[in-house]
Amino acid sequence: MRELHELSAAELSDAYDARTLSPVEVAQSCLSRIEALDAGINAFCHVDAEASLRMAEESEARWMAGQALSPLDGVPVAVKDLLLTKGWATRRGSLTVDPKGPWHEDAPAVARLREAGAVLIGKTTTPEFGFKGTTDSPLTGVTRNPWDKTKTPGGSSGGSAAALAARFCPLALGTDGGGSIRIPASFTGTYGLKPSFGRVPAWPLSPFGTLAHVGPMSRTVRDAALLLNVIAGPDARDWHAIAYDERDYAADLVQPLKGKRIAYSKRLGHVTKIVSEVEALVAEAAKRFEAMGAIVEEADPPGGDINKLFRTLWWAGAGFLLGDLPDEKKAQLEPALAKMAEEGKTIPLKEYLSATLARGAYGAGLRGFMETYDFLITPSIATPAFEVEKLTPLDDDGNAWLAWTPFSYPFNLTQQPAASINCGYTRDGLPVGLQIVGRMFDDAGVLAASAAYEAADSHHAKAPEGF
């Protein structure tokens, strides 16, 4: 058997069922690795070993009695520190949040994990309020990429992605308002799915509104499907949630790609800045789909460059959240976030409503485009991971991270399911992600296409040196 930290959630579940592994020894292994190695990564901002081991002991008793609550009973899962977790502070990477709480409630995804018997192994780092595509904050400092500790793991679910890449745990929760699951999945060679909006209930609603999704992060597609099975459970607190679908996403993974129509968009018709190695690796990934029998056509979706549209909605969300903080609190914010909040606060109502209307037109155009295609594939991000503490590897033109994430945030606007899967490495050994976008509500299809690609490309199996 491979080392415990190398096992997937599916393998752990099978081993628990066969009584060849105990949730307690797995939790102990995860906690030991975090203690030994996380000082150099800073993936976790909160670890409560006593509580995690108690969950593992309860899980072990259920498995021994033949009463496991779900396949994820006893499987360690990390929780991004934007999601409420009962008994643990949710600081959101900010000095402005009082650690005293009270912390009496779980977010829906966390509640479903508890009901499934999962072991919450800790809370992962995030930039302040998840506002940017890298992970460092005034509260928790810099989070580093296990592939190269001088590089960022991306964000805002960077702590979750780094924890997965470093083999601290097999599963993690992320949130994605403009690419925050897919960016770090790309930078760390892991797998992340932004489900269709409303598929995974969220509460309270993000200050960035209906741009923000909650989704699974993992090292394998099957593990993401197992996690989605759990966190997609209904929760009455989210009035945006779509009707609960009882399907088993893990059971639906084996679907042939032969005959599927795939649009391959190199640059979405407008992207001018992209690292050549990223573009080349994604082109090779498109050929793999052709080799599997898919019909791949170069085609750009309609709508053009929607940078300004997204910027208006995102900046307005920051202004709504933080624009009215007292001066002493504003002084505690990261300067880039404080600037964004001030700019967002001044956006006129007419401009905001116009952007909302334009978003609807853009989304309608993409839905029409997807009637012709089963999937759209693009680069996940325009660059591999870059140096920590930078907001952008490109010249900062006032758009913060938007210049290097032009492939991710469009699909927050449209709310379609979109995933990032490892498709290779740069000459410097940094992972690159392929984005697979599906029709609205076809989360099962995106997972199945991802699983087929994973089977055809073994890059995902590689671990960072030292982990």
Q: Write out the catalytic residue numbers.
A: 80, 156, 180
Q: Which helix (H) or strand (E) holds 448?
A: helix 443-456
No. of H helices and E strands in the chain? 14, 13
Backbone angles phi, psi at 298, to 5 degrees: -75, 120
CA distance 193 to 228: 9
Cis check for the bond before 204: say yes or no (omega within 30 of 0): yes
Pairing of strands 295-298, 213-218: unpaired
Return d(Cα 344, Cα 354) in angstroms, integer.
15
| Of residues 163, 137, 134, the one with CA closest to residue 151 | 134
Dihedral angle, C-alpha 449, 454, 460, 462, nearest 10 °: 180
Nearest to 146 by CA among 163, 126, 123: 163
Nearest to 303 by CA among 445, 411, 195: 411
Whose CA is closest to 182, among 454, 425, 452, 406? 406
Sign of CA dihedral 144, 421, 416, 110: negative
How far apart (Å, rounded) are the C-alpha atoms in residues 188 and 137? 19
Decide if 32 contacts 167 (C-beta within 8 A): no
Q: Is 95 exposed, middle or buried (0-12, 13-18, 19+ CB in 10 A)?
A: middle
What residues are paired with 175 via a beta bridge?
A: 214
Give the CA distances from residue 416 to residues 15, 286, 356, 370, in Å, rounded to whole numbers and listed in that order: 35, 20, 17, 10
Cα separation, 432 vs 382, in Å, equals: 9
8 A C-beta contact, residue 421 and residue 433: yes
- Do residues 307 and 402 make contact, with C-beta atoms less than 8 angstroms apart? yes
What would the two tokens of residue 301 be? 């979706």
